[in-house]
Amino acid sequence: MGRFGAMVLLLVLLLVGGGAVALLFIDIPPPESRVEKVLPNDQFPR
C-alpha cells in the first residue's frame, strides 16, 4: 500500500505542477465588455 500511495502522490504532484506551468505560459485574454452607467449629480459635492 505504501508504494501505491507514493505513486498516487507523485501523479497528483505532476498534475498540479503541469497545471501551474500551463497557466504561466498560456496567454488568456481578459474578458472585454463595455460598462456604461449614469451617475446622478447628487453624489458629487459642489
How would DSSP label each residue in 8-33?
HHHHHHHHHHHHHHHHHHS-PPPP--
Extract the residue ranges of the chain whose pLDDT is less than 70: 1
pLDDT score, position 43: 79
pTM score: 0.56
Q: How far apart are CA 42 and CA 31, in angstroms?
A: 32
